[in-house]
Amino acid sequence: MKITVIGTGYVGSVTGACLADLGNEVICLDVDKEKIERFKRGDIPIYEPGLSDLIKRNVREGRLLFTTDKNKAIQDSDVIFIAVGTPSSEDGSVDLRYVESAGKDIGECMNRYKVIVDKSTVPVGTADRVKDIIKKGINGKKYDFDLVSNPEFLREGEAIKDFMNPDRIIIGADNEKAREIMKKIYEGIERTGKPILATDVKSAELIKYASNAMLATRISFMNEIARLCEKTGADIKMIAKGIGLDTRIGPRFLQAGVGYGGSCFPKDVRGLISTGKDYGVDFKILKAVDDVNEEQKRWIIPRIKKEMKELKGKNIAVWGLAFKPKTDDMREAPSITIIKELQELGARITAFDPEAEENAKKLFRDVMYVRTPYDALEACDALVIVTEWDEFRNLDKDKMKRLMKNPLIFDGRNIYSRSEMKKLGFRYLGIGR
């Protein structure tokens, strides 16, 4: 297959690299000349485990190239994936300007039949909108095309694995020709036993939003249960194990913490609420999910204030800045809320994150960054764990205690054993414990 991927952000770069690795000839197209030049040099501007090596190998072997030439990219391809950003507007609705711009370019450059694929997360009905834009760009020329919805389900930090070894592949198409072309693209993955679900376009568009909204709901529900645990003396870790053993529920996404962040859950929950409003559907549950999550990012602050009494001039170590491990993504990260509120209370912040420091520097002022988690602990009055990087789990606890001025830990991700930390002499407070 000859494929073009429009957009070289997180989804576009992973999609392009993985499609090339499956044996397709892939062109990644972007308007950002500087970004394209970085990709050509092998300087990958996105941190994702394994992505740099995957891109470099496929560029070297001639299956993957990067360009800003939209005419060449669109005209030379049989299938065009739209993988541009779909950020939230101020009112929570989805900003489709980049999707619409891609549709306009496709229409103006169209030279023969093509399958156009919405890979970006877009509200239900977007395919019809993009179809009209492409038709307008074609401007009466007799070029046929089909528009398909093929939502992505890529977890940051696990994206290559998720693409190559997915739970399912969703193909939303309204005719058999487009459906068969899409199945051909994924036939290598399907042969490994991974299911392909063929749906209509609108159902495919809605599946992605419904999936993320369900996962976000589980997280916010557990965070509310954690609040009750703190009042009653129950342990949220035991609650999660107990209900996760119910086969109707399962154990995933039942971990309480300081809230979810990133580019997907917050945006998609608000996007689905906004879409519901457009169609006269009031998503009361999802409004509560979003409210609970925003509150949860601040939930740890009163506990810190209560334990430390006075924060002015105190040295607080923060472990983890990215919204989750294995990424440098700071979008809607709980660390943003936590650090800024601690600074407003007069605390001095020393922070460590294995990957997100450069992105964090764009967001914070007066934060000291260090090279190791141990460096952050030197003479600190307390440690706040915000992101559950694996390297935090098995550090030398005795060394941690020696370095800290006060062995006080606020564990926003419950990565340690409460009984072990207490035995070692730490004052240890988790979430819902």
**What is the tens place of the pLDDT at every residue in 364-411?**
999 999 999 999 999 999 999 999 999 999 999 999 999 999 999 999
- For residue 319, pLDDT over 90 is answered with yes
Q: Are 219 and 293 in contact (CB under 8 A)?
A: yes
Confidence of residue 412 (pLDDT cuts 50, 70, 90): very high
- pLDDT in the model for residue 61: 96
Which of 28, 229, 264, 380 is flagged as catalytic? 264
What residues make up the domain containing 244? 209-296
- Ranges of H-type helices in 299-396: 300-308, 334-344, 357-361, 373-377
If asked whether residues 237 and 98 sit together in one domain, one would say no
Q: Are 227 and 258 in contact (CB under 8 A)?
A: no
Q: What average pLDDT does this structure show over 216-237?
A: 97
Residue 65 lies in a domain: yes
Confidence of residue 227 (pLDDT cuts 50, 70, 90): very high
If asked whether residues 33 and 155 sit together in one domain, one would say yes
Q: How far out from the chain centre does Cα 346 lie?
A: 31
**C-alpha angle 379/374/352, rounded to 5°?**
100
pLDDT digits (tens, 9 = 90+) for 57-105: 999 999 999 999 999 999 999 999 999 999 999 999 999 999 999 999 9
Partners of 80 in the β-ladder: 4, 116
If asked whether residues 251 and 335 sit together in one domain, one would say no
Residue 311 lies in a domain: yes
- Alpha-carbon distance of 391 to 382, in angstroms, equals 19
If asked whether residues 13 and 75 sit together in one domain, one would say yes
If asked whether residues 60 and 87 sit together in one domain, one would say yes
If asked whether residues 145 and 167 sit together in one domain, one would say yes
Residue 342 lies in a domain: yes
Q: What is the CATH number of the domain that holds 276?
A: 1.10.1040.10
Percentage of the chain lying above the pLDDT 70 cut: 100
Q: What average pLDDT does this structure show over 180-197?
A: 96
If asked whether residues 144 and 176 sit together in one domain, one would say yes
- For residue 56, pLDDT over 90 is answered with yes
- pLDDT in the model for residue 140: 79
If asked whether residues 167 and 19 sit together in one domain, one would say yes
- pLDDT in the model for residue 428: 97
If asked whether residues 105 and 157 sit together in one domain, one would say yes
Q: What is the CATH number of the domain that holds 174?
A: 3.40.50.720
Sequence-distant (6+) residues with CB within 8 A of 282 are 276
If asked whether residues 230 and 339 sit together in one domain, one would say no
- Among the candidates 179, 199, 219, a domain finishes at 199
If asked whether residues 335 and 251 sit together in one domain, one would say no
Active site residue 264: yes
Residue 204 lies in a domain: no
- Among the candidates 199, 230, 253, a domain finishes at 199
Percentage of the chain lying above the pLDDT 90 cut: 98
Domain count, the chain: 3
For the chain, give the mean pLDDT.
Answer: 96
If asked whether residues 292 and 342 sit together in one domain, one would say no
- Alpha-carbon distance of 400 to 66, in angstroms, equals 46
Structure tokens, 369: 């960054």
Name the 3-class secondary structure at 187. Answer: helix
Residue 395 burial (10 A CB sphere; 0-12, 13-18, 19+) = middle
- Alpha-carbon distance of 110 to 112, in angstroms, equals 6
Q: Are 220 and 192 in contact (CB under 8 A)?
A: no
- pLDDT in the model for residue 336: 98
Structure tokens, 325: 């491990």
- For residue 139, pLDDT over 90 is answered with no
The DSSP letter of residue 3 is: E
- Among the candidates 199, 224, 248, a domain finishes at 199
Structure tokens, 394: 């098995």
**C-alpha angle 296/91/218, rounded to 5°?**
35
pLDDT digits (tens, 9 = 90+) for 349-361: 999 999 999 999 9
- pLDDT in the model for residue 141: 83
